[in-house]
Amino acid sequence: MTEIIEANLENGLKVLLKPVRTAPVATFWVWYRVGSRNEVPGITGISHWVEHMMFKGTPTLNKGEIMHLINRNGGVDNAFTSTDFTAYFETLPSDRVDLALRIESDRMVNALFDPEEVASERTVIISEREGAENEPRFWLGEDVQAAAFKVHPYHHDTIGWKQDLQVMTRDQLYHHYLTYYVPNNAIIVAAGDFDADEMLKKIKEKFGAIPRGAAPPAMQTVEPLQEAERRILMRRPGPTHYFHAAYHAPKATDPDFFPMFVLAGVLDGVGGMSFSGHGSPGRSARLYRALVETELATGVDFGFRETLDPGLIDVTATARPGVPLEKIERAIFAELDKIANKPITDAEFANVIKQAKVQFVYATDGVMNVGYILGQMEIVASYKNYATFLDNLQRVTKADVQRVAQKYFVETNRTVGWFIPTNGAPRKNANGAKGTKGTKNAKGAKDAKRAKKVVRR
């Protein structure tokens, strides 16, 4: 495997380079350590809105010109915002990757935030939220998330509360940009067909003169220990009943992370780790067999992902017509109790490791995936996990899996939500996930387990 080269510029910008000489293509990413985690009431959704404004022009790049230039040069570009980061990328023929450096170095310091464009984008972002609101699972998930977190900013979704989106000002957006879009709060990841020394020289030329900014304010809020089960009962128009249980989960750097990863695989299959996010369908997994094969639910998901701070494990199900939510809840909790009280089998463990190996190969196939996984790992933990991920997974024991099930799947650690339709009329589906995929050149959407925390352009 080609070595990953790490460099740190004097202005605090971190650079990760991975030459991949299999095709004449290169991808260039800029990751900023800012997401909905860095927001407070009154400006929820601001990180995502700033991301939109980064496509509205600089003194040397007109509105819409970024996308036009990338397309004209045979490339794709996109950006997306999550709880812990905002990321931008361009993937181009390797002899034209200099264009990406020009674009990203320019908008790191020169984004305009024209008041008329801010006003126009307000309508777009509110429309994104209203589109998601057509989906009952959005409403239920948002309320469960808000109830699960009392003080930590994971309390609100990346898209933000509509009331904040309606009143946020241009000055607030620009201040957020000036605060967090500084080289000492950013990571560059480049992967593809290039010479590492030459690429680093170009990065220094384009980004090295950008001055270091003041250190962004640290987010030090710690969610207090949950001491009682919390419940949400939501009644709204919708086509069927939905169930959602959320348990507080280990963060990416917690020793419990890898045992929980294996546990998630046993319950629902190994989710996709690549940029496209496609994972195992989970049809041999416990939750599918217990709820879908028994015709209690039309679908069930167990969502667990890497986060900078302790996040959530989400267990969701869509009821079959006529099946009461009480029955679905009992079936799900029975499966969680079973894995806490009895070790998983050797066959289940081997199957999860096999699926993880396959998903990791997919996640490192193609330069865009490499750029994504390196940056995402560096944000929530360390890019060095790229080389050790499978080794760490194989060190997990069956006893570790049972231990974390006993630790996290307890009544006092969960928030339970029921969605009960007030009529039987079907409602328009909004992609079935919290947040919406936008219109820039994206290569697919993430699977629903992770997409709910990511808002793409």
In which band, very low, low, confident or very high, does the pLDDT at 454 lie, cut at 50, 70 and 90? low
Q: Is residue 416 within 8 Å of residue 325, measured between CB atoms?
A: no
pLDDT digits (tens, 9 = 90+) for 89-139: 999 999 999 999 999 999 999 999 999 999 999 999 999 999 999 999 999
Give 88: exposed, middle or buried? Use CB within 10 Å, 0-12, 13-18, 19+. Answer: buried
Cβ–Cβ < 8 Å for 387, 1: yes
pLDDT at 447: 32
The pLDDT tens digits of the residues spanning 140-181 come to: 999 999 999 999 999 999 999 999 999 999 999 999 999 999
Instruction: Note whether 380 and 252 are within 8 A (CB).
Output: yes
* All residues at 6 or more sequence positions from 125 whose CB lies less than 8 Å from its CB, including other chains: 45, 48, 49, 52, 159, 160, 165
429, pLDDT greater than 60: no
- Look at residue 227 in the predicted model and tell me its pLDDT: 97
- Position 452 scores a pLDDT of 40
Say which residue the tokens 């990760």 belong to: 16
Give the pLDDT band of residue 252 (cuts 50, 70, 90): very high
User: What order do you get walking across the sheet with 297-303 strand by strand?
Assistant: 230-236, 414-421, 242-248, 312-319, 297-303
C-alpha of 167 from chain center: 26
Per-residue confidence at 195, pLDDT binned at 50, 70, 90? very high
**Torsions phi, psi of 84, nearest 5?**
-110, -5
DSSP code at position 29: E
Which residues, in sequence order, are bridge partners of residue 19? Answer: 192
* CA atoms of 150 and 170, how far apart (whole Å): 29
Q: How many angstroms separate the CA atoms of 122 and 131, rounded?
A: 14
| Chain Cα centroid distance, residue 450 | 5
Instruction: Show the tokens assigned to 360.
Output: 């990791």
The answer for 433, left when phi > 0, alpha when psi is -120 to 50, beta otherwise, is beta
User: In one letter, which amino acid is 434?
Assistant: K
* pLDDT confidence of residue 424: 54
Is-contact 25 91, C-beta < 8 A? yes
Contact (CB, 8 A) for 153 and 39: yes
Greatest Cα-to-Cα distance within the chain, rounded to the nearest angstrom? 64
Domains and CATH numbers, the chain: 5-207 (3.30.830.10), 230-428 (3.30.830.10)
Q: What's residue 280's pLDDT? A: 56
What confidence tier does 365 reach under pLDDT thresholds 50, 70, 90?
confident
pLDDT value at 205 more than 90: yes
Q: How confident is the model at residue 192 (pLDDT cuts 50, 70, 90)?
A: very high
Q: What are phi and psi of 162, to 5 degrees?
A: -60, -40
* DSSP code, position 274: S
Residue 8 — φ and ψ, nearest 5°?
A: -130, 120
pLDDT of residue 360: 85
At 380, the amino acid letter reads V
Please tell me whether residue 78 adopts helix, strand or coil conformation: strand
Q: Give the mean model confidence (pLDDT) for residues 414-431.
A: 70
The total number of residues written for the chain in this structure? 457
